Amino acid sequence: MAVNLPSSALLLPLISHFLIFITINGQHFTIPESTIEEIQQAFAENNLTSTQLVDFYINQIKTLNPLLHSIIEVNPDARDQAKNADEEKRENQGRRNLGDLHGIPVLLKDTIGTRDKLNTSAGSYALVGSVVARDASVVEKLRKAGAVIMGKASLSEWYKFRSLSRVPNGWCARAGQGVNPYLAKGDPCGSSSGSAISVAANMVAVSLGSETHSSIICPSDHNSAVGLKPTVGLTSRAGVIPVAPSLDTIGPVTRTVSDAVRVLDVIVGFDPRDYEATKRAAKFIPAGGYKQFLNPNGLKGKRLGIVRNPFLKSLNESIFPIFEHHLNTLRERGATVVDNLEIANITTIVNPSQSGELILMMAEFKLFLNDYLKDLLTSPVWSLADIIAFNKNNPDLEKTEEYGQDTFIAAEKTNGIGEKERKAIELMEKLTQNGFEKLMMENNLDAMVTPGSGATSVLAIGGYPGITVPAGYDINGMPFGICFGGLKYTEPKLIEIAYDFEQATMMRKPPPLESFQMTQEFLLESF
């Protein structure tokens, strides 16, 4: 169902009270900012039910979404799924472990397919009413784990690939402009903007996003969330609207590292529907999963390479001393910090037009999007050409004149993987080998450490993993994170490092939503 704000909320905003204690069965339990572990404990102690949790988030969404525009649809079956989870818990009576995500509401980026009453539309009206043949593989895993599918998060429409130069970060036709909950005029980044905003504003427990180039790391960084970008292939992309399968990956966006890891444990694994990539990655999944690497002493003995250039200069100067303080924390926690490292050809790497990344993305997008569309059971559009025509024919609905679709049109002109694309792939491989991989191996590093989200280009072109952890706020209140990046399949090391850093710093704070101008005019303008 579409998310609507009750008229009473227009007159009496309740946002300043969203961090209240709620009383359940005579016990105090604070849902906002609670972790999966804390929620499961409340379930076990009969202080909370999944149904009550879902009801809380539905109320949060009704109150906050007209301001933040981060959720496109709430699942009309969410309460029924929660009731089923509660019934399973009652019948189980603690006899067996039902799993970390049992009864936990999970929000999905609106490109992750669900065979239910929800649309999967990439934020566009062009795909409203389309029907997928089955759940995306990661959704199948979530359902099997007992998670509640809460709804679909907004995003930069079509991953911003409709027009890379004109579509604003966090905007899509179906939800409007996503708003950073920490700074209304701040960039929410994208494309998984809704996933990060919703988690940060306590509108859901955890969420899933996807990343081709920065789409998990950047919005998580900008909205004071934890974003974990897995190595390409560690999680299946089957049933997810593609950009470029050579680079695409699915990962969690959460408030804590421990929550991200618990979600990761559920969604990783081999999938015959995404055969080659997941087969390659499956053998690197550790026995016993990733939760074992939530080590409070995970920084001890690690070698960390600090890459400042060119990433630090793009950030507000007010965060510079905070970043230096964090580097000292890494040292104090037992890490060896190798500072002021440089990545060869970094100017080329961070420019997708020069690195070969954009050439590959253009060609793969047309090829694999058309394949995705052909597999739909019903759809208003069946090809990229159809989508371009839809946008042209619906300029008011899609704001086509304002935001254009030049990247779509350029992609439509491509003809598969030819000589130009093969040369782009070769260039990307050389840049990674002589750049990031050389940096890591010559300095014997466990992870690269960078301020903000600028290093996502480095991780993108090689399919490398990364995790961003909230690191503070600039003088205006805008969040920033620290990104830990590693070689392929080094998630265990990255989790150890990120978890220890998080626990030692605890920089994340709930957004000061009461600072928004809660006028009736502001609320009305948010529609």
- pTM confidence score: 0.94
- Told to judge if 515 belongs to the known catalytic residues of this protein, a careful annotator would answer no
pLDDT value at residue 13: 36
Marked catalytic residue, from 215, 220, 224, 355: 215
pLDDT value at residue 12: 28
pLDDT above 90 covers what percent of the chain?
91
Residue 285 lies in a domain: no
Residue 18 lies in a domain: no
pLDDT value at residue 1: 39
Marked catalytic residue, from 62, 89, 109, 229: 109
DSSP 335: P
Span 487-522, pLDDT tens digits: 999 999 999 999 999 999 999 999 997 655 443 333
* C-beta separation of 53 from 103 below 8 A: yes
Report the number of distinct structural domains present in the chain.
Answer: 1
Mean pLDDT of 353-364: 98
Residue 146 lies in a domain: yes
* C-beta separation of 492 from 230 below 8 A: no
- End-to-end Cα, the chain, rounded Å: 16
Q: How confident is the model at residue 20 (pLDDT cuts 50, 70, 90)?
A: very low
Res. 320: pLDDT tops 80: yes
Residue 16 lies in a domain: no
The CATH number given to whatever domain includes residue 325 is 3.90.1300.10
pLDDT value at residue 29: 75
Q: How confident is the model at residue 28 (pLDDT cuts 50, 70, 90)?
A: confident
Q: By 3-state DSSP, what share of the chain in percent is helix, strand and coil, each rounded to 5?
A: 45, 15, 45
Residue 40 lies in a domain: yes
Residue 11 lies in a domain: no
Give the count of beta carbons closer than 10 Å to the beta carbon of residue 396: 9
Res. 10: pLDDT tops 70: no
Marked catalytic residue, from 137, 191, 224, 457: 191
- Told to judge if 379 belongs to the known catalytic residues of this protein, a careful annotator would answer no
> For residues 350 and 313, what is the distance between their CA atoms, to the nearest angstrom?
14
Mean pLDDT of 290-306: 98
pLDDT value at residue 514: 66
For residue 464, the enclosing domain spans 26-274+294-526
Three-state SS at 357: helix
Residue 10 lies in a domain: no
DSSP 15: G
Residue 62 lies in a domain: yes
CA angle 194, 452, 458 (to 5 degrees): 95
